[in-house]
Amino acid sequence: MKPIDWVIVGGGAVGVTTACLLADAGFSVAILISPASPGLPEGPDDLRSYSLTPASRRILAACGIWERLAPARITPYDRLQVWDAARGATLAFDAASCGRPALAYMVEHSQLQAALQAALLARPTLSVHAATLETLRPGELCCHLQLSNGQSLAARAVAACDGGDSPVRAMVGIECEERPYPQHAVIANVRCDQPHRATARQVFLAEGPLAFLPLPDPQLFAVVWSTTPVAAQALVSASEAVFCAELGRAFDHRLGAVLASTPRLAFPLTRRHANTYSAARVVLLGDAAHQVHPLAGQGLNAGLLDAAVLAERATAAGMVGLQHPQALFQRYERQRRGEILALLAATDTLNQLFLAREPWLGWLRNAGLALTHRLEPLKRLLMAHAMGDSGDLPALARPAASELF
C-alpha cells in the first residue's frame, strides 16, 4: 500500500484546518471524520459559539475557511470588560485604543462547521473518510491505520486532532497530565433587555467566571457560566424563568433583565496537557495536546496556532522531513510548548485567584485589576496576548504591518 504523506484524525476545526494547510502545501492528505461526532445541537438552538482572535482569523483566511463564513453571522467585538463581583474593580479593554478594528470575533458552531465542510469539498485531492480510527500501528517507514469502515491506510505521518480524550494519544502511549477543575461550564444563548454594543463582558463570581458574549442579534448573548457541579446541574434543570432571574442577579443586571433563554447544557471542565506532543510518526494538536479552562476563550485559538506552526514546519522540511518526522515534530513542540505552558499558567492562576476565599487575596486581585486598568502599556501587552498577536507566531498568523499598534 502506497503511504499517504499525512493522515489527520479528527474533523473538528483543528483537524480540518491542519488538513487544508498541509494539502495546500502540496502534501497528499487524508482526513478521518467520525460519522457519529457527539456534536452539539445546531441551527436556531446552536448553543456553542467561539471567540476567535485576529490571529485565528488570519489562519482560517489562509486556507479559505474564513471567507466561507456568512459575514452576517460573524460578530466582531471591540471592547472587553472584566470585573470582580466581590469588590467591584473593573478592567476594560478597547481595540480602538490601539487602532485595531476588533479584539475578537464571535462565530457560531454550526457556521464554523459548514465553512469547514465547504473548505474540504473545495479540495478534491484531499481525501475525506467518514470513519473513526480503530487501531494504529506505528512502523519503521509509516503508520498503519485501521478504520471503522473496514478500510486500511498507511501514512508517513499522523496528526492527532481527536480532542481532549484523544484515542490516538492513548494508542501511542503518550501520557497526559489531567486535572478536573472544581467547576462545570453551563452554556446557553439568552436575550437581554439591553444591547451588547460590540462588547464582551465577564464577571468573576465566588464560584467561577460568568461571560456574556455578543451574537449577531444585538440583544442576543452566548453565556458561559463556570460554577460548582451542583449549581450547574440546578441551572440546567431550572425552568427558563428561574434561570433568567438567577442569571440576571449573578450579572448584577448590567444588561438589564434577562428576558429569555434557550435550554442549557453543562460540561465538566478538565485541564489536560500531554507530556510530549509526539511519539513515533504521530503528532498531537489542539485539545489532544492541551485543554485549557474556557475563561480566556483560547482553547480553539491555541489549536489553530498549532495547525499553522505544524504546517509551516512541515512545508519547510518538505518530503525529506517526512522520512524521519521526529525532528520536524520536535521543532513544532519547541515552538508551541512554552506558549501553551504560559496559557495554562495564566488561566489557572486567574481561576484560582478569584476562587480564593482569603481576604488578602481578594484585596490583591482587586488592587491588581484597578492598577492594570490604569497602566496603558500593560493593557496593550495583555490585549496583544488576547488577540493572539504575541509570542513566536507562524508567518500566516502574524499581523500585517498596517495592522500593528
Specify the residue, 148 or 366, whose C-beta has the smaller distance to ligand FAD: 148
What are the beta bridge partners of residue 176?
A: 274
Specify the residue, 225 or 354, whose C-beta has the smaller distance to ligand FAD: 225
Minimum CB distance to ligand FAD, residue 10 (Å): 3
Minimum CB distance to ligand FAD, residue 161 (Å): 5
Minimum CB distance to ligand FAD, residue 342 (Å): 16
3-state secondary structure 159-194: EECCCCCCHHHHHCCCCEEEEEEEEEEEEEEEEECC
Minimum CB distance to ligand FAD, residue 307 (Å): 9
Specify the residue, 222 or 280, whose C-beta has the smaller distance to ligand FAD: 222
Specify the residue, 32 or 95, whose C-beta has the smaller distance to ligand FAD: 32
Specify the residue, 335 or 347, whose C-beta has the smaller distance to ligand FAD: 347
What is the CB neighbour count within 10 angstroms for residue 145? 25
- Residues at the interface with ligand FAD (CB under 6 A): 9-15, 32, 34, 37, 50-51, 132-133, 161-163, 167, 185, 187, 224, 267, 286-287, 294, 297-301, 303
What DSSP string describes 280-316?
TTEEE-GGGTEE--GGGS-HHHHHHHHHHHHHHHHHH
Specify the residue, 187 or 231, whose C-beta has the smaller distance to ligand FAD: 187
Query: What is d(CA 294, CA 50) in angstroms, rounded to the nearest whole number?
Result: 10
Minimum CB distance to ligand FAD, residue 368 (Å): 24
Tell which phi-psi region holds residue 388, choosing left (phi > 0), alpha (psi between -120 and 50) or beta: left
Minimum CB distance to ligand FAD, residue 27 (Å): 19
Identify the CA nearest to 18 among candidates 170, 120, 131, 147: 120
- Contact predicate 101/53, CB 8 Å: no
